[in-house]
Amino acid sequence: MAPIDEEETLAHQPVLLREAIQALAIRRDGLYVDATFGRGGHAQAILDALSSEGRLLGVDKDPEAIAAGRALAQQDRRFSIVQASIGELARVVAEQGWLKRVNGVLFDLGVSSPQLESAKRGFSFLQDGPLDMRMNPSVGQSAGEWLANATEKEIAAVLKTYGEERFCRRIARAIVQAREINPLTRTRQLAEVVAKANPSWEPGRHPATRSFQAIRIFINNELEELRAALEQAVAVLAVKGRLVVIGFHSLEDRMVKRFFRQKSRGENLPPDLPVMQDHFQASLQVLGKLIWPTPEEVSQNPRARSARLRVAERSAH
């Protein structure tokens, strides 16, 4: 039997909650965006810090998250929610009339515990459900549909690029061979195929973890949307507004780290270009170092063990 990944077994708990609220440096009358609403754990803490004049906008593309957000909006007039991807952040904020007025944007990336725990969503390798993995099940192709038609080379490339899976070719070959016998339509089918094809099981980690992560990221276009969302977040922030990002794996964290570094240095122009320094001033100031969860939080919520938080502030330029 494959080892159980503790991230898959827990009820929803917002990760790095105290640290995220501190990083946002909330103004009581400010305008804030929770761009990955989920089930509202961070959103409720933001609302608790706002006065009656403050406002919070939630964004999510998961219909179940939207339902939870609408319930919260009925209870609290300071909150509203829009169904959209993080890659549509600027449009959503513009529709609110908040462009360059937002005091803080929060991204809590990845898949949420309620999504993992719902077998019908197809994110989990521990529960048998339809092989879907879409954040919004009404848009795009499911993981099962993609795996039914992708070439071995395409599958291997996704496993390597988005899962950093060392045995990507071996696993991709096994998937193609398995689907020739029976269509891969269930999560447990895929997990068993990957587990058998993976010759090196990491202690305490299910051998299908990287493959499921890779396919999920690919199906939902997560890294491309994050790249667009980071740029848009800078554009919507007011001067001194905070951008706070919680990530869970190295791919997204590297992207955030490089983005923060680039925006804090200004445009990378040739040294002999005849422009004044004022023309390429930095748009962000990185605040502090990478923040990890405390040992106490990890002991209470093992899902937090891979979380890391970065924060930056919008510069006057």
> In 3-state terms, what secondary structure has residue 109?
coil
Residue 180: pLDDT band by 50, 70, 90 thresholds? very high
Runs of H (alpha helix) within the chain: 17-24, 41-49, 63-75, 89-95, 113-117, 143-149, 152-163, 168-181, 187-197, 209-219, 222-236, 250-265, 295-300
| pTM flag (> 0.85) | yes
Mean pLDDT of 155-166: 97
The tally of CA atoms less than 13 A away on the side-chain side of residue 267 is: 12
- The top-level CATH class assigned to 120-220 is mainly alpha
Which fold, 17-113+222-314?
A: Rossmann fold (3.40.50)
- Please report which confidence band the pLDDT of residue 316 belongs to, taking 50, 70 and 90 as the band edges: confident
pLDDT in tens, 241-298: 999 999 999 999 999 999 999 999 976 556 555 555 445 589 999 999 999 999 999 9
The average pLDDT across 126-154 equals 95
Output the pLDDT for position 243: 98
Going by the annotation, the residues of the binding site are 40-42, 60, 86, 108, 115
Amino acid in position 166: R
Least confident piece of the model among 102-106, 111-115, 140-144, 296-300: 111-115
Please give the span between the terminal C-alpha atoms of the chain, in angstroms, as a whole number: 56
DSSP string, 130-199: BS---SSTTSS--HHHHHHH--HHHHHHHHHHHH--TTHHHHHHHHHHHHHHS---BHHHHHHHHHHH-S
Q: What is the pLDDT of residue 10?
A: 36
DSSP strand pairing (308-314 vs 237-247): antiparallel
Average pLDDT over residues 202-206: 85
- Per the annotation, binding residues for S-adenosyl-L-methionine are 40-42, 60, 86, 108, 115
Query: What's the pLDDT score for residue 267?
Result: 63
Where in the chain is CATH 3.40.50.150? 17-113+222-314
Looking at the chain, which residues constitute the CATH 1.10.150.170 domain(s)?
120-220
Residue 162 vs residues 8, 35, 93, 157, 294: alpha-carbon distances, Å = 19, 22, 29, 8, 27
Q: What percent of the chain shows pLDDT beyond 70?
A: 92
Q: Quick check: helix, strand or coil at residue 111? A: coil
**Is the confidence at residue 80, as pLDDT, over 90?**
yes
Of 10 and 241, the structure prediction assigns the larger pLDDT to 241
